[in-house]
Amino acid sequence: MQTHNLGYPRIGSKRELKKALEQYWSGKIMQEQLVETGKTIRQQNWQLQKEAGIDLIPCNDFSYYDQVLDCSLMFGAIPERYHHLMQQQHCTDIDLLFAMARGYQRESYDITAMEMTKWFDTNYHYIVPEFTANQQFSLYSNKIIDEYVEAKKAGFNAKPVLLGPISYLLLGKEKEPGFKRINLIKRLLPVYTEILKKLSDNHAKYIQFDEPCLVFNLSEEERQIVLKTYQQINKQFPNLHIILAGYFESYGQNLPTVLSIPVQTIHLDLVRSPQQLDAVLNTDFVQKKTNLSLGLVDGRNIWKNDFQESLVLIHKAVEKLGLSRVWIAPSCSLMHSPCDLNLETNEGILVPEIKQWLSFAKQKVAEVVTLSKLAIDSNDAAVQELLQRNIMVQKSRKTAAIIHHKKVKERVVAISEADAQRKNGYTERKQKQYAALQLPMFPTTTIGSFPQTAEVRNWRAQLKKGAITAATYNNLIAKETEAAIKWQEEIGIDVLVHGEFERNDMVEYFGEQMEGITFSKNGWVQSYGSRCVKPPIIYGDISRAEPITIKWTSYAQSLTKQWVKGMLTGPVTILQWSFVRNDQPRSETCNQLALAIRDEVVDLEKAGIKIIQIDEPAIREGLPLRKENWDEYLQWAIRAFRISASGVKDETQIHTHMCYSAFNDIMQHIAAMDADVITIECSRSQMKLLDAFSAYRYPNEIGPGVYDIHSPRVPLKEEMVALLQKAQAVIPANQIWVNPDCGLKTRQWDETKKALQAMVAAAKEMRLLMQKTKVL
């Protein structure tokens, strides 16, 4: 019974990669030091898994930015705008990788970044491959071979991990009409062949092909391409042991195709879809020689594995297939888990009662090995002790008093349909809001946060350490807020924000002040590039004990006669970006969050705040991967947003924000949110995302992002005017707001000020153009 891991966190247990990346980008360290940091992290990860007893250890799961972007570089799928940069001697492969991810603006270059979007239904972002009709592929980078050789020389039984050709193509985007990206497979496959040949020449025996797109609703044409592709790989490399890994869902209607693919091992995500084990075992698969990898340990959540439940599934598989054909693994890569629970010391935030229920990546690796040992020899005394301890932990969680609160449950049960409805429809609300707010055409605003400088973060750290008093801290935050309000007034922004200097994270800040939610001290996971987040841990019933944002929002409003937006994180986003309790339906937890946010919205209105933004960037990413499950999710998710937003008067304008989402197939549900204004990411897609709103004839107001905040590049005013003109071509001018793509927390002040000044100038130019049009 082999044990293997699909991938391990690459940020380093103490976020070493994040720190090295940011030092490199700011010119504080040389590339050699960055490379050495990467090597150290890889070696530590491999050693940890070896010591735990994992049989097959993944390599090439490390990336300096993103594994999909690594593939684009590896396959030579480098957009034409970067080709001149490639010819420069100073541009290494790593620098080219970063230019593609972040844009490049120095010397005589001004190159935009590639598009970024969410990785399936996770909070991780990947860089979207760009394809043209005449797209050519060639082996440009040997990263996967180099890291395999590195692992092998260091004495590790390494298994190269590679995003499969089907998923790579399907996760990309056609940059021109007239072709389907899946049909590029014939040009792409020779590069995979070359890679496999080099790995084989270096004596690689096992290769893990990640094909998460096999859980999507594929067409028959796509399924046939999948089958033919792997038949060709098998024909050319019959001696390679191919592990086919799909995850995040069941294979659904694709299962017969998957079971027909000529590979040696097929992986099942039995956390997301335990029922698919029966679906496999009830086919003629049992007569084949193919191994079955059971993804039993949750790679995306932090709760301890229930050994008894997992052993039921293992024994069921072993009974049909035998021990040797059953492998044990996590459900997916552990990159979505924090690194090590052992870093949560007694001085941390987690109380022992909750900590005993948790398992991070290092502990999950150990769980995989323990499950294998229990399946092989459950009579072993040491292993039996681990089982009994696990049973006790599971029992303690089920009976813990801190989880359940009667009043919270009763309030959820009492939610009525009226609680999810504004008093009047948008048309009537718009008239009242226009009269109350008196905003110009193309009103300007930002999404909420301003740069959190090292100084601001240091204040927060000093407060936590007790080095400064709360009074001193509050005084510093007040001065920073005052400066932000004054500067926004000076440059002419119409709707101001307080800057969120008091907030550590848009989800963490709210979670810290709610009952039923706790936090780790070092439970970081990668969101994109160097951006790491520390998700809240929702362990019990949720409620808001007292107002969360009133203090700083009201203070900011007191400093100006202009409107200041109240800034909140919505219930679905808090849910999606947290480690959520798995002992009740997610919809139930989301309703609890919705009521807590509703209370905050009502209190903001009472405090005189007339514009309130409830961020919901995660609604789209929460969609189930299989379309037949969409309606159920959307019903409760949209309803939860409406519950949070519907306690205010018509005159109060409700905004929401969504980033890096495709809306075409859920527009009726986006409209059903009934937000007065929605702001969305649009700049990297060159306003293409607005096509869905145009086709739907979306009636409410829209703020299409006019510049990309995930890149340090400062856009020109003319670029933003051009984007706004594209927006105006499909959306009526009186519906358009002007704003960045997202919050500005991760940016520097210098670039932020220049970009926002250009944004305001672009809005003013659009107003002038409108006036000239009216005159003509």
CB 26, CB 76: distance < 8 Å? no
Selected catalytic residue, list 655, 657, 669, 710: 710
* Dihedral of the alpha carbons of 312, 318, 324, 325, in degrees to the nearest 10: -100
State the Cα–Cα distance between residues 136 and 148, nearest whole angstrom: 26
- Do the bridges between strand 158-163 and strand 206-210 make them parallel or antiparallel, or are there none, so unpaired? parallel
What is the spatial distance between Cα 7 and Cα 362, in angstroms, rounded to a whole number?
12
Query: Which ranges of 673-716 does DSSP label H, i.e. alpha helix?
Result: 690-696
Residue 208 backbone dihedrals phi, psi, to 5 degrees: -95, 115
User: In Å, what is the CA distance from 722 to each residue of 677, 703, 751, 756, 762?
Assistant: 22, 15, 20, 16, 9
First to last CA, the chain: 78
Residue 525 backbone class (left: φ over 0; alpha: ψ -120 to 50; beta: rest)? beta
Within 8 A by CB and 6+ apart from 110, the residues are 104, 713
DSSP lists the bridge partners of residue 564 as: 496
b (16+ CB within 10 A) / e for 369-403: bbbbbbbeeeeeeebeebbeebeebbeebeeeeeb
**Residue-level length of the chain:** 776
Tell me if residue 705 falls in helix, strand or coil: strand
Instruction: Confirm if 445 and 495 have CB atoms less than 8 A apart.
Output: yes
At 556, is the secondary structure helix, strand, or coil? helix
Nearest CA among 575, 508, 516, 502 for reference residue 545: 516
Q: How do 531-533 and 525-528 pair as beta strands?
A: antiparallel
Measuring CA to CA, how many Å separate 288 from each of 252, 490, 756?
20, 72, 62
Amino acid at 716: L
CA dist 647 → 213, 423, 445, 547 (Å): 40, 9, 24, 15
The crossing angle, in degrees rounded to 10, of helices 586-606 and 550-558 is: 30
Cα separation, 253 vs 619, in Å, equals: 25
Q: Would residue 404 show up in a list of annotated catalytic residues for this protein?
A: no
What residues are labeled active site?
710
